Structure 1
């Protein structure tokens, strides 16, 4: 399918599809006239990429996955651990603010 159809089917913009291609995350086929041709497996890959980006992973890290780097899972674990630490710190800050607000309530 062409880029407009692929954008509608995957839920990402044509611009995002071009960006993913420029970054080497996907490699759509090409018609003789040069138009991109997106197959089902490429669209499935786009959905995975989108999910990883929405999870906060960087394009650099996702590209290592696309390149088949074996340490990808370990990088994701480290990212998750950093995220968990940030969440814990934010929860502590929220608890401190809640305690403060309880004290200043008239």
Structure 2
């Protein structure tokens, strides 16, 4: 598939796909006319990249991590250096803190919505 088709399938812009390629995160093959050619596996790779970016990992870490992941998301321990492991532990701790923060915010918003709905229901009952 061409870059436009990959963009459609993944919801990632062509420009961002080219950026992923520049960063070494995505490696398309080239057709005889020089067009980028992507296979089904690239859809999965782009999904992994966007998921890791959404989780807050920087592209420099994603570039190190992607080769360790296959389509079943199995990690090959032979490729993990002590430095990479330390970096991933730091990122894991940072993400855990972020998850706790987001969970607190989600729960606070849910509590607020519940209270607003309770007040609206009480007002409606009093009006009837």
Report the TM-score range of the alignment, normalised by the length of the smaller protein: 0.7 to 0.9
Give 1 or 2 for the bigger CA radius of gyration. 2
Specify the alignment match of 1:97 in structure 2: none
Q: How does 1:1-106 map to 2 (within 5 A)?
A: 1-68=1-68, 69-71=79-81, 72=84, 74-85=86-97
Alignment RMSD: 2.4
- TM-score, scaled relative to structure 1: 0.72
5+ residue gaps, structure 2, are: 69-78, 105-128
- TM-score, scaled relative to structure 2: 0.61
1:37-96 Cα deviation digits (max 9, x unpaired): 1101111101000000000000011011135451456533321213434676897xxxxx
| Larger RCO (CA within 8 A; separation ≥ 6) | 1
1:2-28 Cα deviation digits (max 9, x unpaired): 111110001100011100101111110
5+ residue gaps, structure 1, are: 92-106
Specify the alignment match of 1:96 in structure 2: none
Which of 61-70 and 51-60 deviates more? 61-70
Q: Say if 1:83 and 1:66 are closer, same or farther in 2 by CA, change over 3 A.
A: closer
Count residues in correspondence: 91
Specify the alignment match of 1:100 in structure 2: none
